[in-house]
Amino acid sequence: MTLKAGQPLAVTAREYKFDPKNVNVDAGGKATTVSIKLHNAGGLAHDLRIGKGGSELGGTPIVLGDKDAGATVKLAPGSYTFFCSVGDHEQLGMKGRLTVR
């Protein structure tokens, strides 16, 4: 999925995956603010956190099933991971890639 700078990133979480799993943001080579809209379609609590190089840069709070959460994160051009920080969800496959160009 490719978004233009300023478009919200809508992600659906369920056990143990995100949809979409890979996202590109076309920001014209500049830093941009990414607005995340997370919908938890699963039965367990989930969140969406963004990280790079072992550092967590921000993301949504944890939400229960059939609930929504939002967040904004300012990101420079580069590659990032997004993941669910609840329990072992990331290790079970709840992760993806976000690239800002």
| Model pLDDT for residues 46-94, shown as the tens digit of each residue | 999 999 999 999 999 999 999 999 999 999 999 999 999 999 999 999 9
- Alpha carbon distance 93, 84 (integer Å): 9
Average pLDDT, stretch 30-54? 97
- Alpha carbon distance 27, 45 (integer Å): 31
Structural domain including 80 reads 2-100
Cβ neighbourhood burial of 18 (10 Å; 0-12, 13-18, 19+): buried
**pLDDT number for residue 51:** 98
Q: What is the DSSP string of 62-85?
A: PB-TT-EEEEEEEE-SEEEEEE--
Q: How confident is the model at residue 11 (pLDDT cuts 50, 70, 90)?
A: very high
Count up the domains in the chain and report the number.
1
**pLDDT number for residue 74:** 97
- Alpha carbon distance 94, 101 (integer Å): 23
Q: Which CATH number do you get for residue 85?
A: 2.60.40.420
